[in-house]
Structure 1
Amino acid sequence: MNRIMNFSRDMILVLVSPEEAFRRVRERGLQGQGLYLYVFLAAFLGYMLGGVVSAVTGAGILVPVFFAVAVLIVSFIKLILWALISHIVASRVFSGVGTFSGTLKMMGFAAAPFVVGIFAFMTLILWGTIFTSTALMVVMYIWTITTAVAAVDAEHGIGYGRAFLSVFALPAVVVTVLMMILGVL
């Protein structure tokens, strides 16, 4: 029970003060918890999304389970690609000192704001609040990027500006260029 309470307290600390949380995580050598958090919250977020689809279509319990597995797989692939691009930019362009494994583990903590997305789906299912749910999802995505910036800064020690460029700006350019190339083919 104590481990669950510590995990919950650490997750709340990631939401409130990611710098302090990442400092503590590194001191205790608990970077791997980021991946556990990511897997759990991504699956739960997928389950809630499946719950919305199930409520709208009247489908059974298998739809949320299918969505949980699908969102978990897709989001984990996204996390690996996002961490890879962010690590390459942070280490090669900005001379960061972190490793890919450390970047992946620390960026797993960027799932902490998924709690807001889960709450957004709950309000959509229970009360049908489309505007509020959409606004909460936007907040979740902004908060996720902010947390990922703090994670890359903690792993690579490159500062928030360069970490932001590593996490968001330059990967967005890479993805856009790839989409343009694939669109031409």
Structure 2
Amino acid sequence: MKKMMNFSKDLLRVMISPEETFKVVKDKNLENQGLYFYIFMCAFLGFMLGGVASAITGVWIIFPIAFAVIVTVIALVKLIIWAIVSHIVAVFVFKGKGSLESTIKLMGFSAAPFILGIFALMTLILAGTFFTSTMLFTIMYIWAIIIGSAAVNIEHRIGFGRSFLSVLGIPALIIIGLMMLVGVLQ
């Protein structure tokens, strides 16, 4: 019971004050917890998505387990790519001083807002509230970006604005530029 209470307390701490939490995590050398936390939250969210799919199709046990595995694998690949791009921008554009490994681990804590995604799925399943679920998912993604920015800031010591640009701004501009280039070439 005490471990469950600590998990809830840590989850709230990351959501409310990510920079202070990351400072404590770095001081205590607990960066690995970010990766474990990310895997747990993704598997749980995947299990919930599988629950929605099984309710629609009637296949009960297979979908939640399969979705948990698939969502976790895809999410880990996404996290690694996101952290690599953020790390490259932080180091080469803004002269950050952190390591890629710690960046990946700290950015794992960006899964804390996934609890909102779980609530979004629950409201969708139980109450059929599409608008509320959409809003909760939107808040979840925005808060995940903020936590990811705080992680890059603590790891690379470049300031929150530059960290935000490393996490979202410059990668988004690159993606938009590539999309425009592909559109012109077609």
Instruction: Single out whichever of 94-103 and 166-175 deviates more from structure 2.
Output: 166-175
AA in 2 matched with 1:94: F
In the alignment, which residue of structure 1 is the partner of 2:27? Answer: 27
In the alignment, which residue of structure 2 is the partner of 1:130? Answer: 130
Q: How does 1:109-148 map to 2 (within 5 A)?
A: 109-148=109-148
Secondary structure at 2:60 match in 1: coil
Secondary structure at 2:119 match in 1: helix
Consecutive unaligned residues of structure 2, counting only runs of 5 or more, are none
In the alignment, which residue of structure 2 is the partner of 1:96? Answer: 96
Consecutive unaligned residues of structure 1, counting only runs of 5 or more, are none
Q: How does 1:36-185 map to 2 (within 5 A)?
A: 36-179=36-179, 184=185
Q: CA deviation at 1:178?
A: 4.4
Identity %: 55
Q: After superposition, what is the alpha-carbon deviation per residue over 1:46-91, rounded to whole angstroms, capped at 9, x for unaligned?
A: 1111111111222221111111111101110000000000000001
* Compared CA separation, residues 163 and 129, structure 1 to 2 (3 A): same
Q: In 1, Cα distance between the equivalents of 2:165 and 2:108?
A: 18
Q: CA deviation at 1:143?
A: 0.5
AA in 2 matched with 1:138: T
Secondary structure at 2:90 match in 1: helix
**Is this contact kept in 1: 2:14–2:21, CA < 8 A?**
yes
Instruction: Single out whichever of 57-66 and 162-171 deviates more from structure 2.
Output: 57-66
Q: CA deviation at 1:45?
A: 0.6
Q: In 2, Cα distance between the equivalents of 1:116 and 1:38?
A: 14
Q: In 2, Cα distance between the equivalents of 1:166 and 1:15?
A: 20
Q: After superposition, what is the alpha-carbon deviation per residue over 1:107-144, rounded to whole angstroms, capped at 9, x for unaligned?
A: 00000000100111111111111111111000000000
The number of residues matched between the two structures is 185
Secondary structure at 1:68 match in 2: helix
RMSD, aligned α-carbons: 1.6
